[in-house]
Amino acid sequence: MSEALIDIRNLTVRLAGGRDAVLVDDVSLAVGKGEVLCIVGESGCGKTVTARSIIGLTRHDPRFSLSGEIHFEGRDLMRLGADELRQVQGAGIAMIFQDPMTSLNPLHRIGRQIGEVLTLHGKHSSTEIRRRTVELLRQVGIPNPETRIDDYPHQFSGGMRQRAMIAMALACSPSLLIADEPTTALDVTTQKQILTLIKKLKVDYGMGLILITHDLGIVAEIADRVMVMYAGRCVEIGAVRALFRTPQHPYTAGLLASIPAANRVRGERLPSIRGVPPILSEGRPQGCAFLPRCDFALGQCRNLPPLKASGAETDHLDRCWLTPEVKNQTLRRLQEGAQA
Amino acid sequence: MAIYLLVRILGGVVTLFCVSALAFFATALAPGNPAAVLLGNLATPERIAAVTEQMGLDKPLPIRYAIWLKEMLQGNLGTSNLSFKPVNDLVLAALPPTLELAALSLALAVVIAIPMGLILAQNRDRWWTRPLSGLVTLGISVPGFWVGLLLIVVFSMTFKLLPSGGYVPMTRSVSGNLRAMILPVLTLAIYLIPSLVRFVRVTAANVLREDYIDTARAKGAGAWRILLQHVAPNTLIPTITYIGLQLGVLISGAIVIEIIFSIPGLGRLGMNAVLNRDYPVIQGVVLLAATGYVVVNLLIDLAYSLIDPRIRTR
Ligand SMILES: Nc1ncnc2c1ncn2[C@@H]1O[C@H](COP(=O)(O)OP(=O)(O)OP(=O)(O)O)[C@@H](O)[C@H]1O
Ligand SMILES: [Mg+2]
C-alpha cells in the first residue's frame, strides 16, 4: 500500500444510553489510493455500522457514541463539525447502500436526486448539472439517459436503480467509495453486471473502494486486501492472497472452508461454522468472542488476543492466541481439505 | 390515471346514493309521527290523519323514497315541517357560516400542525420535544368545547375583547365577520391540531427512518434540507389522506362549536331539526354534509394523483 487515502484508527462505536453494547470495537484500517478493501463477516458482526461510521452517518445519530480517528485527505473526520463533515460526504467519500428499492426518494425524479449531490457540492448552473447527470447515467449504463433522467424511481428496475445510486455516488468524483453489499438485493445476472460496473468505474475514477460483501468469490475477484470482522472486531486483516492462502484465524479458515467450490463432489456436506455469532446489542463473551464456536480454543482465549502479525507478511494481522504452527498448518489444511 | 379517477368518482356517487337512502330511511323509520309533532297540542286523530295524507306519509315507504329521491335529484330538498320554508333556502343560508368556520379552522390547524409535527419528529431525541409531545397527548384527551368555553371566559367575559358568539355575514362587515370568527375558529383549530400533530409526527418519524433519508445524508444534505425536501413531501402524502378522513371529525366539531358560539350554521340547523323532528331539514343537512365529505375526498384523491408520481405516471 502506497500512501493511505483513508486511515482509520481505533474506531469504536457503542450504543448510546448506558448499555454496554459495543457494535464496533477498536477497528483500525487503511485504504490506499485506488485500493480495494473488502470487509467480510457473518450477519450482525458490525460491517454496516463500520461503513456508516466512516462516512459519518452515525456521527450525529444520538443512538450511537463514537470514538477513534478517521484521517481522510489530511483531516480527522471525527473532529469535523457537522457542516465541514457534510462537505466531505458525497464529495470526497460516497456510499452505495444495500437495497436500491428503498434507497431512492420515491417522489423525486432520478435526475433531481443525482443533481442534488452536484448542487450540494457547489454546482449551481442547472444546464451544467443536467449535462453532467446525463453523462453519469450514460457511464453507469442506463439506456436513453436523456429521457430516463426524468423518470421516477418506480419506473426503474432494481438493477437500474442501483446503477442510478452508483451514478449519484460518482457525481462529485469521490476519492473513496463505500459500497455496503451493493448486489445482495439483486438477481444473479444483475449482480454480476453491477459488480463489473463498479470494478470498471473504480479504475476510471481512480477511487479507493471499501466493499462489504458476504460473497468470498467476489472478494477473491476484486479485493486487494480483506478485513474479516467478528462480533464488532477486526479478527484478521491482510492482503487477499495471504489471507486466502494462509488464514491465521479459525473464523477466517471456517469462512473460507464454507465456500462451495466448483469441483466439490455433489451431495457432500459443505462444512459450516457451528453456532451463531453473539448479538452485539446484548453484549459479548469475555476475551475472544469466537471462543464458544472455536474448535481450537485454549485456556488463554478467555483473554482478548492482540491484533498482531503471525504469518509471513508483516501487514497480515490477526487476533488469535494459537501458535504460528497451528495457524499455518492446521488452519490451512482445514481450508484446503474443504476445497479439495 | 383516467380510469383511476373514474373509479373514484363512481365510488363517490355510490357512497352518496347509500347515504341518501340511509338519511331517508333512518328518519322515515324513526318512531313518532311527524304529523303529530307538527300539530302539537292541536292534534286530534282526524287532523293527524289529514296532515299525514297531505304530507304523503300514508304511502308505502318505497314509493315515498322514490318520490323523495326524484325531488332530491331535481335539487328540491322539500319543505321544513317547522317553518314551512323550503329546505333549500334554509340550508343555503346556513352553509356560509359553516363553510367559513370549517375552512378557516382547518387552514389554521394545518398551518400550525404540519410544521410542528415535522419539527417534533426531527428533534425527537431532544429533551424539549418531550413536554410538547405531552401537551399534544393532553390536547387529544381534552374535549374540544372545553377550550372554547375557556376562551369565551377569558377573551369575551373577562377582557371583553371579542364577541362570545353570533355571526356577522362577510357581506355586511368583513372585520365584524372576522372578529366574530376568531374564537370559534381558534376553538375548532385547537380541537383539530393535537391529533394532526401526532399523525404528522409519527409519519415523519417513520419517513426519517427510510433508507433514502440515509442516501440524502450521505450526499451531504443538511438537516433542514432533508426535512423540507425529503421528509416533508413524503409525510404530506399520507397526511392529506388523513385530513380527508378527519373531515367527519371536523364536521362534528363544527356542530359543537356552532352551538357553543350560537353560529347559525348547518350544525345548528341540523341540531334544531333533530330536536323538532323536522325530517326534511335533517335529510337535507345530512345529505349536504355527506356530499361535502365525498367531494372533498374526491378532490383529495385528485390532488394525491397529481402529487404522487407513483400514481400519476401509472
Ligand atoms: N440502531 C441500532 N440499535 C441497536 N442495535 C443496532 C443498531 N444498528 C445496528 N445494531 C446492531 O449492531 C450489530 C451490527 O449490525 P450491522 O448492521 O453493522 O451488521 P452487518 O455486519 O452489517 O450485518 P449484515 O451482514 O446482516 O448486513 C447488530 O447486532 C445490530 O443488531
Ligand atoms: Mg450490513
pLDDT tens digits along A264-295: 566 666 677 888 888 888 888 889 999 999 98
Note the pLDDT of residue B104.
96
Q: What percent of chain B has pLDDT over 90?
A: 38
Note the pLDDT of residue A325.
78
Q: Is the dihedral of CA A61, B221, A191, A177 positive or negative?
A: negative
**Cβ <8 Å between B210 and A90:** no
The cell numbers describing A286, all together, are 469475555
For chain B, the first-to-last Cα distance in angstroms comes to 7
B313 and chain A: CB distance < 8 Å anywhere?
yes
Q: What percent of chain A has pLDDT over 70?
A: 95
Note the pLDDT of residue A266.
60
Note the pLDDT of residue A121.
96
Note the pLDDT of residue A107.
95
Residue A1 — very low, low, confident or very high, per pLDDT cuts 50/70/90?
Answer: very low
Q: Which one of A54, A80, A103 makes the best mutation probe of the B interface by having the most chain B beta carbons within 10 Å?
A: A103
To the nearest whole Å, the CA of B219 is away from the closest chain A CA by 4
Which of A76-90, A299-313, B24-38, B194-208 shows the lowest mean pLDDT across its residues? B24-38
Which of A87-91, A335-339, B229-233 shows the lowest mean pLDDT across its residues? A335-339
- What is the average per-residue pLDDT within B278-294? 89
Mean pLDDT (chain B) is 88
Q: Which residues have C-beta within 8 Å of that of residue A86, sequence separation ≥ 6?
A: A120, B220, B221, B222
pLDDT tens digits, one per residue of B94-143: 999 999 999 999 999 999 999 999 999 999 888 898 898 888 888 888 87
**Cβ <8 Å between B219 and A90:** yes
pLDDT tens digits, one per residue of B55-109: 777 888 888 888 888 888 888 888 888 888 999 999 999 999 999 999 999 999 9
Cα–Cα distance, B38 to B276 (Å, whole number):
9
Tell me how many degrees the CA angle A141-A171-A83 measures, rounded to the nearest 5.
155
Note the pLDDT of residue B154.
87
**Cβ <8 Å between A106 and B310:** yes
Tell me how many degrees the CA angle A123-A125-A126 measures, rounded to the nearest 5.
110
Note the pLDDT of residue A167.
97
* Minimum-distance ligand 1 atom for the alpha carbon of A47: 21
Residue B184 — very low, low, confident or very high, per pLDDT cuts 50/70/90?
Answer: very high
**Distance (Å) of CA A157 to CA A170, A186, A197, B310:** 20, 10, 16, 14
Mean pLDDT (chain A) is 91
The cell numbers describing B109, all together, are 390547524
**Distance (Å) of CA B271 to CA A288, B181, B268:** 76, 20, 5
A42-46, B66-70, B149-153: which is most confident: A42-46
Residue of A nearest to B229 (CA): A108
pTM of the model: 0.88
Q: Is the Cβ–Cβ distance between A254 and A235 less than 8 Å?
A: no
Domains plus CATH for chain B?
97-313 (1.10.3720.10)
**Cβ <8 Å between A57 and B237:** no
Note the pLDDT of residue A40.
97
Note the pLDDT of residue B141.
83
Total CB pairs under 8 A between chain A and B: 77
**Partner residue facing A107 (CB), from B125, B215, B233:** B233
Q: Is the CB of A281 under 6 A from ligand 1?
A: yes
B210 and chain A: CB distance < 8 Å anywhere?
yes
Which of A29-43, A46-60, B34-48, B269-283 shows the lowest mean pLDDT across its residues? B34-48
Amino acid sitting at position A317: L
Note the pLDDT of residue B35.
76
Cα–Cα distance, B191 to B139 (Å, whole number):
8
Cα–Cα distance, A173 to A206 (Å, whole number):
9
For residue B236, the Cα-to-chain-centroid distance in whole angstroms is 20
A14-18, A204-208, A313-317: which is most confident: A204-208
Ligand nearest to the CA of A97: 2
Nearest to B75 by CA among B52, B95, B91, B51: B91
Half-sphere exposure of B273 (CA within 13 A, CB side): 28
Q: Which residues have C-beta within 8 Å of that of residue B244, sequence separation ≥ 6?
A: B296, B297, B300
Q: At what angle do helices B87-122 and B232-245 cross, to 10 degrees?
A: 150
Residue of A nearest to B225 (CA): A120
How many angstroms is it from A178 CA to the middle of ligand 2?
A: 12
List, in sequence order, every beta strand (DSSP E) within chain A: 4-15, 22-32, 36-40, 64-72, 75-76, 93-96, 176-180, 208-212, 225-230, 233-239, 308-309, 317-318
Note the pLDDT of residue B181.
92
Q: Is the Cβ–Cβ distance between A56 and A85 less than 8 Å?
A: yes
Q: Which residues have C-beta within 8 Å of that of residue A23, sequence separation ≥ 6?
A: A13, A14, A15, A46, A49, A64, A232, A280, A281
Cα–Cα distance, B116 to B124 (Å, whole number):
12
- What is the average per-residue pLDDT within B38-56? 79
| pLDDT for residue A171 is more than 60 | yes
| pLDDT for residue A262 is more than 60 | no
| pLDDT for residue A43 is more than 70 | yes
| pLDDT for residue A333 is more than 70 | yes
Question: DSSP class of residue A34?
Answer: T
Domains plus CATH for chain A?
4-223 (3.40.50.300), 242-339 (no CATH)
The cell numbers describing A267, all together, are 451431495
Report chain B residues whose CB lies below 8 A from the CB of A181: none
Phi, psi of A211 (to 5 degrees): -115, 125
| pLDDT for residue B159 is more than 70 | yes
pLDDT tens digits, one per residue of A293-327: 998 888 889 999 999 998 778 899 999 999 887 87
Give the strand pairing for A75-76 and A64-72.
Answer: antiparallel
